[in-house]
Structure 1
Amino acid sequence: MSTPSLVLRYVGFAVIATLINLATQRLVLDVLPPDAVGFTLALLAGTATGLVAKYWLDKNWIFFDTSAGMAAHGRKFGLYTVMGIVTTLIFWGMETGFWLAWRTEAMREVGALVGLGIGYVVKYHLDRRFVFEDRRSHD
């Protein structure tokens, strides 16, 4: 796959996962009050749904990983999740910083978008190096 195609696909999948993440957060915050507990649960739920979606998309359409079976998926998803810890801290830090600075939904989401954008760039490089062994997408 050419570099422009890879970048376009990765960005598209990042957008999809971001929309899933933010939609999940909105759903949680529609049900719970936007206090510390509601905000924390929204962050966790959004992160979980975005993570699962992005793993599936990256595994199949970015890294073309053909491994199968619960052991392989468990190992790779575990590594993928560990690599996501640093990038999640970037995301949460930006979103929380924007929330604390402005205390508005719009600015919270701007912070989330900025944090997710930075985090996805870092995550791609970590996943490419440490998680997925099939490198056909990088020839």
Structure 2
Amino acid sequence: MSIAVLYTLFAAISTAINLGAQMASMWIYGGPRAVEVSILVGTAAGLPLRYVLEKRFIFDFSSRSLVHDGQLFTLYSFMGVFTTLIFWSVEYAFHLAFGSASMRYAGAVVGLGIGFYVKYQLDKRYVFVSAPAARFP
């Protein structure tokens, strides 16, 4: 199976986990800032699984130790900050523009798609590389 197909499959799985966690969050908590809380919960729900799947099946990368794996996960998560801002911005813009849950979730799918593409590029260049000099200090 090609990397593009696998990455798309993993992105779809991650998106489903993200949106499912958002929906569950909204069901559990409907108070002030419920939308913002649900977006944060959804983001946190899919991250560890995506890291493991991408590290193994997309980048075929093996960490040297548990400490190294922790460092990689930290860097992977840090790269995700930028792409998460893209995702959140698009989702929240849809929420503000259309005012409905279905359109907010549509915005989430669009934002996640853009974010996944950018994230792949960042991870390929800075996270899952063999040469330490290619990483951020």
Please, what TM-score do these two structures have when normalized by structure 1?
Answer: 0.89
Q: Distance in 1 between matches of 2:41 and 2:47?
A: 10
Alignment of 1:27-66 (within 5 A): 27-33=24-30, 36-66=32-62
Q: Deviations over 1:58-115 (max 9, x none)?
A: 0111011111532111110111011111100000000000001111011000100000
Q: Report how many residues are paired.
A: 130
1:72 match: 68
2:13 match: 16
1:97 match: 93
Show structure 2 runs of 5+ residues with no match: 131-137
Q: Deviations over 1:23-42 (max 9, x none)?
A: 00000001111x55211211
2:135 match: none
Runs of 4+ in structure 1 deviating by more than 3 angstroms, as ranges, are none
Please, what TM-score do these two structures have when normalized by structure 2?
Answer: 0.90
Same amino acid, percent of matched pairs: 43
State the structure with bigger RCO (CA 8 A, min sep 6), 1 or 2: 1
Which of 4, 7, 12 aligns to 1:7? It is 4
Q: Distance in 2 between matches of 1:73 and 1:22?
A: 27
Q: Which moved more, 1:58-67 or 1:36-45?
A: 36-45
Which of 101, 115, 119 aligns to 1:119? It is 115
Q: Distance in 1 between matches of 2:126 and 2:29?
A: 37
What amino acid is aligned across from residue 83 of structure 2 in structure 1?
Answer: T
Q: Which moved more, 1:43-52 or 1:116-125?
A: 43-52
Show structure 1 runs of 5+ residues with no match: 135-139
Q: Distance in 1 between matches of 2:45 and 2:65?
A: 21
